[in-house]
Amino acid sequence: MAGSSHGHTPAAWTGVTIAFIGFCVAGAFMVMAQPVGFWAGMAIVLLGGVVGMIMRSMGLGQPKQSGALAYTTTAPAATREPAAAES
């Protein structure tokens, strides 16, 4: 998967950033023993996923690849021929 741009799109960055903020909000309210704030943070986490999917559907995500293979393969490295047995 070297060389792929998996996750390096505006949709991915935005969705993960929103989800991270929601995780921080939920964690802070959990420590403060405030269930309503915790669930609000969890709603923000889910919002991050929804925003990421909407942005991907708008064309800001990874383009879908056609065909059966998702990744391109490269030619194998040159192999060394086995040495002849010495007699």
Residue 24 domain-assigned (yes or no): yes
Assign 23 to helix, strand or coil: helix
The structural domain count of the chain equals 1
Burial class (CB in 10 A: 0-12, 13-18, 19+), 69: exposed
Provide the domain limits for residue 24: 10-60
pLDDT reported for residue 58: 87
Q: pLDDT tens, position by position, for the chain (87 residues)?
A: 455 556 688 888 999 999 999 999 999 999 999 999 999 999 999 999 999 999 988 888 887 776 555 555 565 566 666 666 665
pTM score: 0.66
Residue 36 domain-assigned (yes or no): yes
